[in-house]
Amino acid sequence: MLKIFNTFSLKKEDFEPFDKPDVKIFICGPTLYDYTHLGHARIFLTYDLLCRFLQAKGFKTDVLVNMTDINQNVFNKALEQYTDYRTLTRFYSDQFIKDLKLLNITTITRLAHVSDYVKNIIQHIIFLMKNKNAYSANGNIYFDTKTVNDYGAISKQSRKQLNLHRMDIGPNKKNQEDIMLWNCSEDFGFSWGGDFGDGVPWWHIQDTTVAFENFGTHYDIHGGANELAYPHHEAHFAQYKALTVGENPVKIWMHVGLVLSNGEKMSKSLGNMVLSREIAEKYGQNLLRLYIFSTHYRDKIDYNENDLIDKKSLLEKIYNTINKTSDNTSQVISNLINEFFKSFEDDFDSPKAIEIIDKICTLVLQGESIRLQDFEKIIGVLGLSV
Ligand SMILES: [Zn+2]
C-alpha cells in the first residue's frame, strides 16, 4: 500500500484515489516571466517520479499544470521589454516545455494558461459573491476567509495567527487575512471586464478555476513547493470548498522541499539561480535525476555541483549493468527489485531506492543475473533514459 505524507493531517496516509485506477494530480506551475531553475525542476521531477511509480503499479495518471501568465512580475517584465504580456508569456511557456523535454518529464497531460480561463474565473467570483463567500471593497473583490470554518488547516495556523498576516492590502477589507480575488486598483495597461468592474484576476483564484474546470469537484493530489502552503494553498483550498459547497475536494497535499543555492533560496535578485537547462545540457538529465532523487522529496537540497558530479560513478555502474543483463533474474536480485518498489511505498523514499539500485548494479557486476526487462523497469521508474 502506498503511503504519502499529507501536509493536511501531518501523517503518512494510505493513498486511495477517488476513482481508482485514475489519479488526478494538480501541480502549481511556473509564472511565465523567466526560465526554469533547479527548484522548479525538482518539483516537476518529483511528480514525474510519482507518476512513473503509480503507472508501474497499474494506476492511470492525469497531471494538470497551471502556468501563470497573469501576474505582477509578468506585467512588469513585459513593460520593461516593450512587449505585450501574451508575447512574453508564450515565449516562456515554450521555454518551459523545452525544459520539461530536456528533463525527460513525460507525465504531464494538461498544460493550462490562466488567461484562457478568465471568463470562468469571473463566473466563479460571481458565484462566491452570491453565496457571501466574497465581497467587494473599493472595487477589489476579496474572499471572506471567515466564511470557511477551518481556514488555516493546511498551514496549521489559528485565527489569531492568521490575523497577523496583512494579505493583499487594500482599503475596507473585512479581515486582514482575506485574500484578493480580483484586483481593480492598479493599472496593468489592460484589464478584463468583470460584471463587478474592470480588473485582473488575482493569484489564488487562478489555480482554483483552472483545477475546477479541468477536474471538476475533486482530485487526488495537489502538489507544489512547501513554501506555497500559506497563503496560496490555504486560499485555494478554501475557495475550492466554497465552490463545491463544502466537500473535501483534495485527498493529499504533497509538498516538495526547496532547492537552495549557497544556503539561500534561488532567486533572480540574489543572483544565485541555477537553470535546469544548463545542468541538463552540461551533465545530462540522468545525472540530475540521480542527484535530486538521492534526497527525500520533503527535505531541502543545498545545491552543490560537486555533489552532482559525485553521482557519476553510480550512473556509470548503471550503464555497465545494462551491458551485463542476461536471460534470467536471480532470486537475490528479484528480492532487491521488490525492495526497490517497496521503498517508494513508504512516502516515496527515493534515496533508499537509489541505494538499492546501487546494490543491484554492484551484485550484477560481480556475477548475479538480471534480465534486461527487469532492469529497464526499475530505471524506467526513475526516468533514466539509456
Ligand atoms: Zn498554484
Tell me the three cell numbers of residue 218.
475533486
Using alpha carbons, select from 321, 312, 332 the residue that is nearest to residue 375.
Answer: 321
Go through the chain and tell me how many residues it has.
386
Same domain, 41 and 137: yes
Q: Mark residue 223 as left, alpha or beta (left: phi above 0; alpha: psi -120 to 50; beta: remaining).
A: beta
Output the pLDDT for position 167. Answer: 73
In a domain, 45, yes or no: yes
Residue 136, domain CATH: 3.40.50.620
Same domain, 63 and 176: yes
Same domain, 126 and 197: yes
Query: Separation of 221 CA from ligand 1 center, angstroms?
Result: 13
Query: Separation of 63 CA from ligand 1 center, angstroms?
Result: 14
The CA distance from 85 to 83, in Å, is 7
Output the pLDDT for position 134. Answer: 96
Using alpha carbons, select from 248, 251, 335, 295 the residue that is nearest to residue 2.
Answer: 251
Same domain, 250 and 317: no
- For the chain, the distance separating the N- and C-terminal CA atoms, rounded to the nearest angstrom, is 30
Query: Separation of 222 CA from ligand 1 center, angstroms?
Result: 9
Per-residue pLDDT of the chain in tens (386 residues, 90 and over written 9)? 899 999 999 999 999 999 999 999 999 999 999 999 999 999 999 999 999 999 999 999 999 999 999 988 898 899 899 998 899 999 999 999 999 999 999 999 999 999 999 999 999 999 999 999 999 998 899 999 999 888 888 888 888 888 887 777 788 889 888 999 999 877 777 788 878 888 999 999 999 999 999 999 999 999 999 888 889 999 999 999 999 976 689 999 999 999 999 888 887 778 889 999 999 999 999 999 999 999 999 999 999 999 999 999 999 999 999 999 999 999 999 999 999 999 999 999 999 999 999 999 999 999 999 999 999 999 999 999 98
Residue 170 phi, psi (nearest 5): -170, 160
In a domain, 296, yes or no: no
Q: Which domain holds residue 186?
A: 11-259
Query: Separation of 288 CA from ligand 1 center, angstroms?
Result: 25
In a domain, 372, yes or no: yes
In a domain, 290, yes or no: no
Q: How far is CA 218 from CA 29, 60, 263, 276, in A?
A: 19, 16, 38, 32
In a domain, 74, yes or no: yes
Query: Separation of 19 CA from ligand 1 center, angstroms?
Result: 23
Cα dihedral sign, 217-220-222-223: negative
Residue 360, domain CATH: 1.20.120
Same domain, 155 and 223: yes
In a domain, 302, yes or no: no
Same domain, 322 and 386: yes
Output the pLDDT for position 158. Answer: 85
Residue 60 phi, psi (nearest 5): -115, 120
User: Whole-prediction pTM value?
Assistant: 0.95
Same domain, 253 and 316: no
Output the pLDDT for position 253. Answer: 96
Same domain, 147 and 240: yes
Query: Separation of 344 CA from ligand 1 center, angstroms?
Result: 25
Q: Strand, coil or helix: what is 143?
A: strand
Which residues have C-beta within 8 Å of that of residue 271, sequence separation ≥ 6?
none
Domain count, the chain: 2
Same domain, 48 and 136: yes
In a domain, 298, yes or no: no
Tell me the three cell numbers of residue 265.
533560496
Query: Separation of 26 CA from ligand 1 center, angstroms?
Result: 9
- Considering 242, 259, 276, which residue would you say is the last residue of a domain? 259
Q: Prior bond to 231 cis, omega within 30?
A: yes
Output the pLDDT for position 246. Answer: 65
